[in-house]
Structure formats: structure tokens, C-alpha cells
Structure 1
């Protein structure tokens, strides 16, 4: 086995190769070939038997052969191993030309090569058998140690190079009386094996046998009264001792009594012998002749052999010198190596996933171009990290297919990381108890409807803190209210999150979501009436602006001009360059649905209208296309008009007010009471703006027209005259200025519509907030009002016989609450106040009510943000990505805070358990 192998940590003393109590009485020749130290073994039968008997590392018995093999003597191998295995070994040795000169030693080499392959019993086609040679050096006065590499024999016909079963070539006989299976010397679990030998199984495993040896035979109580038979005879304690001729007594430690069968057994023979004696099989109960039976048994060769095997195994287990000890040492070293490799691979995967980068390239091999970000990161880290450097070196060795760098292992590790993050988030939700769900849907690049699931809860780990957890995307083929509601309920059940603890739900304003009869919110309310529905505040604000813009023809024309400006300049790089030369702020396109974001589109016109107009005039002069020249001229005249400048100022002021509110509402920590206050402030600001806003806009527009050297005049519309008939006294159209008409037909219409729509669309949010209003304003309410509002809150949080709080106790808690640091505090601030003062247990109902109030969502912005990640992860080039991989990558990318606390050990353990290896990593 060691011929032409690279040798490490071998001591050569007096021509004998010592390997952890394994000696080879042979000639050893060490030579240097290039960068390798080669040890050649030549069998020498004339050297005779060893001076001192060697100890076999399998059975711990003295060996009587001339040359001791790596695991056992040739004689014991012929006895232990099946005929077909030996034949395979002999055939391998006979056909191996490189070992012809070694004689019997070559048979050992061929035998163990066959055993390494034959001992692999894994049912998986992708398992790889790895045999490692145990090496230990003896102490020597000379510091002439040579290193021996643990040789790994890998043989597989797997279709996947990423799966591996680590199996060490431990030899365990099924027929030997002293064979031990791997791992038996210290990790035996014999709690299931009874102390009564009558209850032992017919065939004991190696772990059970080793555990029983460590525990030892059970002793008898001298005062125990043994049961008597009908003839009055019974076992007696004095049979536990053997009486010698000189009168001394020797205890028979091997003799044990079975209370179950009222019989005695030979403890060691039952463990190590296969005899048919009653002392081994069913127990001896012949109390008449028991003395003679015991005397005859203890002098039998089989009993003596069993006692010797027992004592040798016991001594070996205590000293840790069995084959299992060496094997376990190698196993632990291999486990540590693979664990270190996996830690680095997990870190690389996590880093790539957090940055939404692709993993694979056109090649799946190391050290080749276009092999993807994952393998490039491995190569880069290997330049500075010795663990990955050694791993790549082993991966490059011919025949070694175990790398853990393939696409299958990538997917499995990504899945394990995602699963661990989900487990952490679910544990946080379950600990907080109350939660709300936020849902939104969008199609991805492969035209699959993806539903984003976000859970909102109040974490109490370090203090009250609102957290929103992204739980993944769900493929939603059925976008009806029934389909989406059943999909989310099924997902919550899979995660182990009880829907009965849901206290809030928030969606966009789609009919399938907010429908009162068949929408998602209506169907979930049927399941849980305490899951209060709160429409998305940002979507509602968007509808407010959209409704206002549709009320006036002037407003519609204004946004049409702004869009034409962007289209003209963006159509050609030369025109865009002209715009950049004149204006510091470039034009931006807008979203067709997010109206409040249009403030960014009109911002350049608001701050630099004259420069945009100059750019249009230069485009008109430089272009030869008549269509472009006419359009540029038309847009320049439109921007320079007094009417456009008035619209620009009005819309900028309205959109800016609404955009600020919308951005604040989109915060993950926004609370319902704060959101409603913001809406009221926005409404009050619009009401105030209606009174003076138009005059301010006219003044600002006049100044800009003067800067552009254009007249600040509105074209007067020709008055309509009515055709007069005889005796018809109808008046002509009343005379009024053009500014007055614009104020009435444009400014008042837009602002009034925004104010009214704001009040109507946020009424449902206001109703939900009113249920919890007592928590924010109880200091300014009288006792009767507090009592009424607490009763309303108690009804809201009750269903059937279940209730989240006792409203009567809540009234008393509010009245006895200590002085607050501020006159008005938000729900989260009041929650933090109770936590900091450590008086939560004094106000349990208030504590629960505040937690539920903070749990209620305000917008679906978190779900909308997940769609941005979706577009970065599932791109056109990655459109065939599976749903499971997409989910895991999105969870890693979005939940940064949870990912920073990820335990790599948990991921590795989960990965190992899913792989169901015989040797755990």
C-alpha cells in the first residue's frame, strides 16, 4: 500500500517502518525522486518472526505472522473477510505489474484497494469513497522524520461531482468474536440495552458491545433473596466466587444473574462467543448441578478466549488505541477541513447574493475564462487563503471529483442560507406573537406573476422596535381574491405562523385586493375578523394626484408638454449633449403610475426654465430635420408662455407637498397614528395653499417670463355673443380676465379635487386609527370618553370568546399611568417608555394594545422595494431561474439585518443533514 506513495511523518528506526503499532518486518529503501520522498518496501521472509509480538489494531490480539499488514494479519484476513473480497484483492495484486517485486506485500496492496471500494455501501450514485491511511510516528531520539500524506482513494461513477460520502477503511468483522465497528470506543449509546442479559438482542452492534464493555457486568447484592423453585432450590450468592485449593476465593466477575429469567449467564461469552451453551443462549437454571457446570465452563478454551477478548477490548477502549480511535482522529480532521471549506463557500455565496450578482458563467471549471463570479471569487480568495488554496489543489488532482464548487452544491447552499434566514425571521415573528401581512403582486421577466410576502411585527429583543421581514415570493397563477388569499394562508401554515395572531393587512388599491366582497381583505377578514385592513397610503396619495390631474384640460396639456420635452432630447445623443451644455439638471422621464414622483420630472423646468428654452432654440438651429425643428420651436414657445409657467409653479408646489408625505409614509417604522397626522397636515397645507397659492404662482411666473424676455400675458379668449331673438333678453358671456378664468378652471379645480379626494380615500385609514385613538390622546380626554373609546377598542380586538385585552382594566391602567415626558406621544414612544421604566407587567393591557397598534401597516412600500430586487436578480439573462433559487436569493439580498447575524455552523449542519451523509461534516 505504501509503495511509490508520498510519505509523511514516518520514523525509520533500525530498518523497521513503524506506523502506530503497525510494524513491517521488511527491508525499507527510501529514495528522493524530484520533489517526492518515495518509500519502497521489499518483502524479506528470511527475517523471521518479530522479536516482540505486535498488537493487531483491529482485534487488539497478538499477531503471529511474519509481516503485519496495515489493518490485520494475513491469517486473520483469511478468517475474517468474505471469499469474494479476498479474491478481488488477490486478482488486483496479481494483475498489478508495479507490485510484482514485492511478493505477498503486493497482495496486501491489492486487497486493501478492493476493500476500500467494496466497503462503500451507500445507495446514492454520487457517493465517493475516501480511504485514509492512519499514520502516527513513534518517539525517536533522532530528528529524522519524513512526512507521509494520507492517501485518499476515490472511486465513483457519479453523475454529480458535488456529492460525497466520507467512508474510512475501518475493518470490522461480522464473524470475529472481538470485532468492533467504527466509532464504538467512546460514542456508544447503550441506554437502550438492558443490563439484564436476557433482554439483549440476538446480534449486538459494535457500539452496543463496546458500550457494554465500558459499563461492565452488573454486580449482585449479597443480601438479595433469590427466588426458589418448587423443589426449594435456587441460585446462591456464593456461586459468584471460585474456591481455590488453598482456600482463597476468586470472584467470577463474568457471571451475571438475570432476574427476568431467574438464570445465570456468562457475560463475556454472550458478548464475544457464538457457542450453544445455556450460559450463552437462554441462561442456566440447573441449580442442582450449577457448581460443576460453572467449573467446567470457566476452564473451557472458548471461555478463556472470550475473557481475553473482553479484557483486551476493555484495555484498548480505556487507552483509546483501537482502530476507531485512529479512524475518528482522521474523521475529525476531515470534518474540520470540509467545514472550513464550506464556511468560505458560504461567505462567497452570501456576498454575491447580497449584491444581486449572477453566480455562473459559460464555463463551470476553475482557472478558465468566463467561469462566472462564484468560481472567480473562489480563485481570488485562494490566492490569499491557504484552506481554499489546498482545496483547489486537491480538486485539480486527477480522479478527485469532490470539490463542492458545482452548480448543484451552489443551489443547495443558497437554499440552506435562505432557510436559515427564514427560520430566524419566523422565530422572531412567533416570539412577538402579533404580526401584520403586506402583499403586492407584479409580473417578472418570464411573465410569471410574483406575489411578495412581507410580515410586520414589533420586536422586543433589545427594546420595542418595528421590523418588517421579507418572507419570499410566491408564484401566483390565480390572481383573484380567492386564489391570492388561499396562497398566503397556505404559506403561513407552512412557515408555522398562526394566522389567528394576524392583526393587520395592507395591499394596494386593486379590486382583487381591497374588494369588500370577494377581495383578499374580505376573505381574510372572514377567517380572522381582527386582521384589520389598512389601504396603502402611498398608493392612495398617488390616486389623489391622478384624480386631480384628470379634472382639468390645462393640467393634462401641461404634463403632455413635459413628456414631449424629455422625448425630444432623449431621442438623439447630440440633442442630449446640447441640453447638458445648457442645464445643470437633466430632464427625467416619469412613471405612468407613480404621480407623486413626477416632481422630479418638472424640477429642471422649475429651477432652470430659461436654460431648457435656450437648449430647444439651439436644437432648432442645429438640426436639419424639419419635423424636429418645428417641434423644438413649438416647445420653446410653450415653455416661454405665461400659462405654462403658472401651471409649472402650481404643479411643482402641489407635487412637492404630496411627495414629502409619500416618502415619509414609506418608512418601514411608520406608525398608523403618525401617518394619519401627516395626512391631516397635508390636507391643511393644501387648504392653506388654495387661499394664496394662485397669486404667488402668478408672481413667480411673471418673474421668469421677464428672465426669458417674453411677455407675461395670457391670450384673451374671444367672448361668445348670444344670437338675440325678438323678446329674448339673454345676456352675452360675462366679461372676466384671462387670469381669473385660469384660476377658476385650473387652479381651484385641481386643488379642490386633491383636498376632497384626500379626505375620501383616507377615510378607511382614519377609522382604523380612531379605534386606537385613545392610546395617543388619553391625557386630553375625560373619564367618560376614555371609557367609551376603550370599550370600542376592546370590541375591535375581540372575536367570539377570544379577546386580546380587557378594556375595563385598560381604563384603570390609563388613569393610573405615571406622568409622561411629553403631552402627546406616539404609540412606539409610549411603548418604549413602558419598557425603559420596566413597568410593562403593571400595564399588561396597555402593553398589548400599543404593540398591536405599532404592528398595523401603513403602506406596501416594503413589498414594492422587493420588486426592485426582483428585477436585479431575475434579469433577461437569468429568466429561467427556478422559483426556489429566486426566493432564496431574494431573501438573502433583502434581509440584510437578519443576514448579518447568520450562523455559518447552522447552515453547515442543515446542509449536512439534507445530504444524509454517513459521515457528518
Structure 2
């Protein structure tokens, strides 16, 4: 039986189908499960001894049928769920990450992930996220999504009052402040801090006058940025395409290629590509942080603040630096460093005095026009996206900001705001004692090593050195802060597994099998620890 379980876990971890076109042993296309059983039987005497009587029909009950496969999948999924539930109960607090997407059968699947902080004496502390399962929803309204989630939490035996955070994608049915999942969960548990952050993605479409940021031109611009494609090579390829299309008499391709070649081999395209590269290079640091379940909001807020500061400074005086970078590439590529001019329609004048007043926009230099219509809207769109992320952290910072790290603890002690912060936390969460927290934070400022700078590092130091009894309320406060997730990337990653498991060839898969296969695949580390 252990060998069959190992085969099930292996196939599920690799997101492979179990059955093929037939279920006859020693036949082609009989599926991955039977194929692995036959392979093991050739070398393993135990498996061979089990397969031989079944092949000779000496026994009717064996472990190679589809029913046994489905039962094993379900049992392993249940064991993984039990292990996850036990970890969540031991951690004391948890947060929920939810997101929705339709599957290949057009069934709306609600992905539920739990975010917890675990601590072991003499070992340390760690942040972990565990996929619970996919929950089918018939209606994507806030009430239905909330009922589905709460029903499942109750089945798991978890206390909704221990939920200390909510993280949703940008869907209005989950994230809306008024009548959706966010508000309904808050009505049940006032302590469930809401935080929902996606990867900041400044969109070129926000810049309505950036005419080059559309269609194929935008795709080529990103290729120039991310893949270091040389502009002369792109231009030569387009010229070859134009020549080939002209010989074939394909006027449509010729016209499109010629227009694209003129567009990308222009000073405006090159300068805009350089600007986008500088903006996205800074935003990329935050995006990478948001892909990790280990990142805390304390670390993330510092990074977002630095990126926001850079973008604001960049919008004020960094157009000239972008021009300097673009000038070197333009000289190498033979691109004229001039902005394209457009013919301006001259208005008709019926009286002589009308010629004395001219349109101010006609006298503005082309560089200033580019800055006003392209550069500033482009950078402002990035600032707007980052600012929205930063606003989500303000309420969180007002509650936990004084324990973000050793530097924040020191500043709160020196500025005499520590007492107010401790009282505010006790009043809001009622999980800590303000007076004891005040004394422990003051003592920790001088006692903690200088290298322990972030909240997670401080908490890990307390656990690894068996100091939990010395700093009980500080430990609770740090656990509460780190329990709130900083990102919803786990939900997005579960959708990737969903698309690999439930393909258009497996649309009739039962919901319990889908969730069990997803759990085995996503929580493979727990799967390997099961006895």
C-alpha cells in the first residue's frame, strides 16, 4: 500500500493525469498510474507479487482500479487538511487569503489560504501559508462567498474570532467596503484587520496621450527593456519583412511593418522605453517582495515608501537623465534625436485683431510638450498605483508601527509615544496588556542584538533563545503583526495549479478530488511528512 500511496503522491505533485484511454494492464495509453505500477513490478518483488495474482484473476480485490485511486487521493487530501488545521490551531491566530476564478468547466472556484506564524522554542519563528482547498460557489455575491467561507471554517473546527487578517484580490465582491465579504467578516470579528495588496502594476493605458503604448508597439517596448533586444536588429528585421511582403504583394503586412518600423526607430519611442525601464526597475523590487509569503508588512512598507519617494523625485527632475541614457543608444542605432512634428491646423480669421492672439500650445517646445503629454502622465500613473498600496498600510502602521523593528521601538521610546501606542493596541485588539507591553518594549530596546532589525527577526530571536516567558506580550504583539498577510500571491499561485489539474480533458472531475489533488500538489512539503 505504501507503494501505491507514493505513486499517487508523485503523480499529484507533478499535476499529471492518473488514467489514460483505457484501464487494461500492459496496454499502450493505459495511464500514468498503471504505467508506474507496471514499471515498479518489473524491479520490486513486493509490487510484482501483488500484481501477479490480479493479472491472473486469482483475486478480485486489488489496488489498481480507479475506485481505489480516488479513495487514496481523498484520504491523502484529508490527512493534509488535518495537519494544516492542527498547525493553525497551535499557532493561535490566523489570517485568510481569498480569491475567485472560473475553472475549465466554468465553475467559480473560491481559493482559500490560511496565513499563520509558527514559533518553536530553541528553534525560531517563521511565517507560513497553507492552501486549504477550492470551494465551489454558485453565486459570487458577497453574502454567498462569506457563507461558503464561514461554513468551511466551521467544518475545520477553527474559531473565526481568532482570525486577525483578511487579504483579498481587487474584486469588488470581496474587497468592497460596504456590503461584501470584507465588511461581513468584520461585522462578525472586529479584530480581523483588512489588508489587500497586489503586485503594483502601473499600466501604460492610464496615459491616454502616450500613443506609442498600444498594441504591438508596447510589446516590442517591453522586449527592448527586459530582453535587451537591440533596436538596429529589430529595425533590420522589419525592413526585411517589408521587402518580403512587397515582393509577395501583401500590402496590409507591408503597411503595418513600415508603420511599426517608423514608430520604434524614433526618438520618442526610445526615450519612453528608457523612462519605463527606470520606473519598472524600482517597482520590480516591491513586486518580488510581494511574491514571498515570508515578507511582512513592516518590511514591505519601507520598500514601498522608498519607491514612492524615488518616483516623486523622478517626476520632478529626471527627464534629463533619461535623455542622456537614450542619447547613447540613439547614436549607436542611428536614430535622429528629434521629436516628431505634427502639422497644426491653422484657424481661419475674419478680423485683423484675431491674429494677435495665438494658441499658447503652439508656442510650447516639443520637448516640453512631450514632458507634459507623455512623461508626467506615465510617471504619475506609477505613483498612483504605488500610492494606493501605501494607503492600505496607513491604518496598519498606526496600530503596529511602533514594533515594526528595533529602530521603531527605540524611536517610540525616545519620543514618549510608546505608552499611547500600547494603550491603542490593547483597546483595539484586547489580546495584550498595555502596561506589561510598555515595560517589555522598553527593556527589549537595550537587550536585543543590533542585528535583529525586523519584527520577524526579533520574534525568531525570542523563540530561539527561549525568552517567550520573559517577553509574553511583546511576543503576542509581534505574532499579531506578522499574522496579517502582505500579499495575495498565494491565491494567484493556486490558480496556476488549478489550470494544470482541471484541464479541458478533466472537466468532469469531482470537487473533492480537485481539492485533494491541489492540496497534494501545493502542500507537497506536508505530504512528505505524513506518516
TM range (shorter): over 0.9
TM-score (norm 2): 0.93
2:428 to 796, 809, 832: 796
Cα-Cα RMSD: 2.0
Q: Secondary structure at the match of 2:133?
A: strand
1:429 paired residue number = 88
Matched with 2:226 is: 603
Q: Partner residue of 2:437?
A: 810
Shift of 1:759: 2.3
**Contact in 2 for aligned 1:650/1:693 (Cα 8 Å):** no
Contact 1:535/1:765 (<8 A) preserved = no
Instruction: Select which of 34, 53, 69 maps to 1:375.
Output: 34
- Does the alignment pair 1:528 with 2:184? no
Q: Which residue of 1 aligns with 2:23?
A: 364
Distance 1:835-1:749 versus aligned 2 partners, 3 A rule: same
- Pairing partner for 2:112 from 430, 445, 453: 453
Which residue of the partner structure matches residue 336 of structure 1? none
Classify the secondary structure of the residue corresponding to 1:365.
Answer: coil
1:850 is aligned to 2:478: yes
**Deviation of the 1:603 alpha carbon:** 2.4
Q: Of the candidates 195, 217, 223, which is equivalent to residue 562 of structure 1?
A: 217
Q: 1:700-736: CA deviations, max 9, x gaps? A: 3333333332322112345676647466653443523
Displacement of 1:740: 1.5
1:472 corresponding residue in structure 2: 133
1:772-791 map, 5 Å: 772-776=400-404, 777-781=408-412, 782=414, 784-791=416-423
Q: Structure 1 residues 749 and 454, CA, compared in 2 at 3 Å: closer, same or farther?
A: same
8 Å Cα contact 2:169-2:197 kept in structure 1: yes
Correspondence for 1:650: 275
Whole-angstrom CA distance in 1 between matches of 2:198 and 2:452: 23
Residue among 285, 288, 298 paired with 1:660: 285
| Separation in 1, partners of 2:167, 2:223 | 27
Give the distance between the partners of 1:549 and 1:820, measured in 2 at CA.
49
1:78-114 CA deviation, whole Å, 9 max, x = no partner?
A: xxxxxxxxxxxxxxxxxxxxxxxxxxxxxxxxxxxxx
Give the match's secondary structure for 2:135: strand
Structure 1: runs of 5+ lacking an equivalent:
1-341, 567-586, 588-597, 798-802, 904-921
- Other-structure match for 2:300: 675
Cα drift, residue 751 of structure 1 = 1.5
Contact 1:552–1:750 (Cα < 8 Å) also in 2: no
Quote the Cα distance in structure 2 between the aligned partners of 1:633 and 1:719: 24
In the alignment, what sits opposite 2:100? 441
Alpha-carbon deviation of 1:474? 0.4
**C-alpha separation in 2, matches of 1:681 and 1:724:** 56
* Counterpart mapping for 1:414-813 below 5 A: 414-461=73-120, 462-538=123-199, 541-542=200-201, 545-546=202-203, 549-554=205-210, 556-562=211-217, 599=222, 602-604=225-227, 607-623=229-245, 624=248, 625-718=250-343, 723=349, 725=351, 730-733=357-360, 735-776=363-404, 777-781=408-412, 782=414, 784-797=416-429, 803-813=430-440
Q: What's the TM-score once normalised by structure 1's chain length?
A: 0.54
Distance 2:279 2:74 in 1: 47
CA offsets, 1:614-658, max 9 Å, x none?
111111122322211221111111111111111111112212221
SS of 2:486's partner is coil
Asked which structure has the greater CA Rg, the reply is 1
Question: RCO greater where, 1 or 2, for CA within 8 Å and sep 6 or more?
Answer: 2
Alignment of 1:396 with 2:55, yes or no, is: yes
For residues 456-484 of structure 1, the C-alpha deviation after alignment (integer angstroms, 9 at most, x for no partner) is: 00112442110100011000111111111
Q: Which residue does 1:293 correspond to in 2?
A: none
Distance 1:481 1:865 in 2: 23
**What number of residue pairs does the alignment pair up?**
518
What are the within-5 Å matches in structure 2 for residues 14-33 of structure 1? none
Secondary structure, aligned partner of 1:877: coil
CA distance in 1, matches of 2:88, 2:321: 51
Structural mapping, 1:885-904, within 5 Å: 885-903=513-531
Name the SS for the 1:859 alignment partner. coil
| Partner residue, 2:66 | 407
